[in-house]
Amino acid sequence: MSINAPEFLVVIPARLGSTRLPRKPLADIGGKPMVIRVAERAQQSNAQSVVVATDSPEIQAVCDQYRIECLLTSADHPTGTDRIAEVAQLLKLPADTLVVNVQGDEPLIPPELINQVAQTLADNVTCAISTVAVPIVDAAEITNPNVVKVVLNRANEALYFSRATIPFVRDPDSKQTITHLRHLGIYAYRADFLEAYTRLDPAPPEQTEALEQLRALWNGYRIAVHTASKAPPAGVDTVEDLERVRRILAS
């Protein structure tokens, strides 16, 4: 850990109910459940602690077996951010604590990426959240609504996130070049923002785009964005994704 590395903790939200891949957090990857693989990756970062947040006693029992800290949270949370906010309350985290949200379906997440999102928030004291983007290199992703795009201001803070093509290139023959950015779903938050988030109503653009980070922008919170040079390995959404990750770890 570098001298200036910030202190932070990682929270991994893990729901047992998944429509596309049932019981996803407990899917076996090389002899270990996926949620354990994710937690072990997070433990390789500079995090002071790693906590799994779940609504499932079964997931909690698996975490206990592997000596991974786990907190049982409400089954009624509409978003992963709400679940992480409950963890912040349960742990009575000081207002300035940095909390990194690592998705429970990212068993190949680079520990350096976790460190970077925490460092970005620590370096941007006026921001409540930080996240990561990467340049889009496949032109088909620019128009793919499953690929979330982000546009930044000159301070590398998010102006807007969208499933639409942003920015839209009005004149394709123009000599001006623009790099479209893909948003990656890893966040760091300040604990006082998490506490405030639970009191914010869903925002119209959030509901339209189905992107919960738009609730923060709608309410005036600033989001710092680190642009990484390349995308990390993809997470697990489907059976095919699961088989790909199994092959990578087996090799």
Q: What is the phi/psi pair of residue 163, to 5°?
A: -85, -15
Give the residue from 202, 230, 187 showing the smallest Cα distance to 99: 187
pLDDT at position 121:
98
Domains defined for the chain, CATH in brackets: 8-250 (3.90.550.10)
Percent of the chain surpassing pLDDT 70: 98
pLDDT at position 2:
46
pLDDT at position 80:
83
pLDDT at position 77:
86
25-44 pLDDT, tens digit each: 999 999 999 999 999 999 99
Burial 85-99 (b: 16+ CB within 10 A, else e): bbbbeebebeeebbb
What whole-number distance in Å separates Cα of residue 41 and Cα of residue 107? 7
pLDDT at position 222:
98
DSSP symbol at 131: E
Give the residue from 100, 102, 13 showing the smallest Cα distance to 63: 13
Give the torsion through C-alpha atoms of 89, 93, 97, 100, to 10 deg: -50
166-193 pLDDT, tens digit each: 999 888 877 778 899 999 999 999 999 9
Token pair of 221, please?
A: 């919170």
Give the torsion through C-alpha atoms of 189, 182, 39, 125, to 10 deg: -20
- Give the pLDDT band (50/70/90) at residue 221: very high
60-91 pLDDT, tens digit each: 999 999 999 999 998 888 888 989 999 999 99
What is the mean predicted confidence (pLDDT) over 197-213? 94
- What rounded mean pLDDT belongs to the chain? 93
* pTM check: above 0.85: yes
Whether 184 contacts 134, CB under 8 Å: yes
84-113 pLDDT, tens digit each: 999 999 999 999 999 999 999 999 999 999
